[in-house]
Amino acid sequence: MKPEKRIILCLAHMSGNEQKYIKEAFDTNWVVPLGPNVNGFEEDLKRFVASTVPSGRRGESKPEKTDKRDACTVRDFSEEDYPQSIEPHENNPERLWQEGDDRLKDKQVVALASGTAAVHLALIGVGVKAGDEVICQSFTFCASSHPVTYLGATPVFVDSERDTWNMDPELLETAIKDRMKKTGKKPKAIIVVHLYGMPAKMSEIMAVADKYGIPIVEDAAEGLGSRYDGRACGTFGQYGVLSFNGNKMITTSGGGALVCPDEAARDNIMFYATQAREGYPYYQHEKIGYNYRLSNICAGIGRGQLTVLDEHVAHHRRLAKLYAKAFKTIDGITFHDNPSPLSDSNFWLNTITIDPDVKVKGMENAYNTVVKSAVGGAAGVIHYVDKARTDCEPNDNVEAMRVWLDQANVESRPLWKPMHKQPCYATAPSYTNGVSESLFKVGLCLPSGPLVTEEDAAFIVSKIKEAIG
């Protein structure tokens, strides 16, 4: 039976604690891009990114159970009934994540207007300037690479490996060597992404970056709550990018944050995020700054949202286990799961690949019509196009599956189209191995958020079976 309400990829879910902080901001007239909520949100995030996990937790979708009164570590509620499992088990974010990793004790966090702003400021933080080159993961959303161009620098795209779908460490080194040979200088930075929450191979990537002395900007916009070898994603690079867009693991409506290596770096990022004003009794500007700080209202939403962050992560992982089990029995459909014990994805979006030879109902009509609104979420205004096909697109059976699910009131969307195949980057250097293009042709994202129930997941699987039956 077709669901009454549309099953969305990842829709915001409120904890009930947000209103307290919003009301407090209005009552005290802190309706500006600074204030107690911003300060508190940054401190809460600082504890989270340094938080530890229970023993035996790594690489498993269901962690060890912990007493709900134990606020020292990341908690798990995956065995509780829904929706209790996504409700807050601690209403005060200051009580959460009290035990941290000593390696991360110097990390600082700056709350910002978006994850894109965080990428932009991170690049400034590592010294990227006009004429520089920045190595970027090709298989990602455009916000990972666009800020490179804001600074007049050139993105150099590097393809993925098949295990995690993230930047290939071997190809990364090939690209660095070739750029040094061709330009006579090293790339200024490396932007690595944790695609759909799946941790990249950080040990290998860090080894390459360290070998050549190139700083890493770690884009964990999709990876809040993901861990690599037990450590929070976003804490490996010199800077780590977080996103709180409306469809992420938690939301501030729109917003992001930048994890900084220390207080000095934080102060520098804060300077640029607040219009780069010098310390005179009047407004003097010697550098170009930006209006990138998060509002006190949005930060209040964020503080309330943090009380369900662990719950949201547990729910995404619970759905991942259900999907993984179900698709094992369906020929031609493969679920993208943690590839090793080091990887512990938040499964922000659960993803599948569909073999090219799988027949899907409606394939003969794939791409017959253009879309009139953005596929896969509210993306604002899109330009009208007179044809739906390009030289790099998902296979007909993937598009047919998307349309089939859409007709059943289920939102799905293709994987990100690789940046080296985007027309706006037609002249950018790229180092490819065919992995991201091949995955783009066969991949599909499925509903995964906290408002997706186990019954919804079962319905989605049933509709996929029906489409290929």
CB atoms within 10 A of CB 378: 8
Which residues, including other chains, have CB under 8 Å from residue 124's CB and lie 6 or more apart?
151, 269, 272
CB atoms within 10 A of CB 386: 5
Distance CA 60, CA 104 (A): 23
Question: Which residues is 189 bridged to in the sheet?
Answer: 134
Closest CA to 345 of 334, 335, 355, 357: 335
Burial 227-263 (b: 16+ CB within 10 A, else e): bbebbbbbbbbbbbbbbbbebbbbbbeebbbbbbbee
Q: Where are the beta strands (DSSP E) in 387-468?
A: 413-414, 430-431, 443-446
Distance CA 453, CA 417 (A): 28
Distance CA 113, CA 243 (A): 9
Residue 52 near residue 71 (C-beta atoms within 8 A):
no
Distance CA 97, CA 138 (A): 34
Closest CA to 101 of 70, 122, 77, 74: 74
Which residues, including other chains, have CB under 8 Å from residue 257's CB and lie 6 or more apart?
42, 45, 109, 110, 111, 112, 118, 241, 242, 244, 294
Residue 188 near residue 153 (C-beta atoms within 8 A):
yes
Q: Would residue 65 show up in a list of annotated catalytic residues for this protein?
A: no
Residue 464 near residue 407 (C-beta atoms within 8 A):
no
Distance CA 164, CA 202 (A): 11
Q: Residue 235 is encoded by which pair of tokens?
A: 């804490």
Phi, psi for residue 267 in degrees, rounded to 5: -60, -40
Closest CA to 128 of 172, 211, 185: 185
- Catalytic member of 188, 248, 421, 441: 248
Which residues, including other chains, have CB under 8 Å from residue 110's CB and lie 6 or more apart?
42, 121, 257, 258, 260, 266, 269, 270, 273
Running DSSP on this structure, what letter comes out for residue 65? P
Distance CA 75, CA 188 (A): 38
Active site residues: 248
